[in-house]
Amino acid sequence: MDKQRVAAELVKLAKTLTAGDDEWRDDDDAYREKFGFNRGDKVYYEQHGIGKTKYSVSYHDGKDTHNDGSPFFGIALFSNKKGLAAFIKGLKAQGYKERGYW
């Protein structure tokens, strides 16, 4: 088999394996199932011990998206619990809800 033919077969196989992956773009139930929250919800979640960072908070304002329509999460990094608690308190005051683990 030549290289072009193998490459074409691999592309065809990849398309078959990812078929239906874009269902979440138009279907709100599929969106909720894929991302764990409703479209337009303000959500955040915490992660601890990532690399050299002690505490991190990822947050989505319900509006910002990537080019493919998936939600864009901002990130805030903290080295102490006092800063972390103050940031989360501010998010909650703005209407953000903690997203459960998925």
Residue for token pair 């874009």: 22
81-93 average pLDDT score: 95
| 49-70 residue pLDDT tens | 988 899 999 999 888 888 887 8
pTM for the full predicted model: 0.68
Q: Where are the domains of the chain?
A: 1-35, 37-102
pLDDT surpassing 90 at residue 74: yes
User: Which DSSP string corresponds to 39-80?
Assistant: TT--EEEEEEEETTEEEEEEEE-SS-B-TTSPBP-EEEEESS
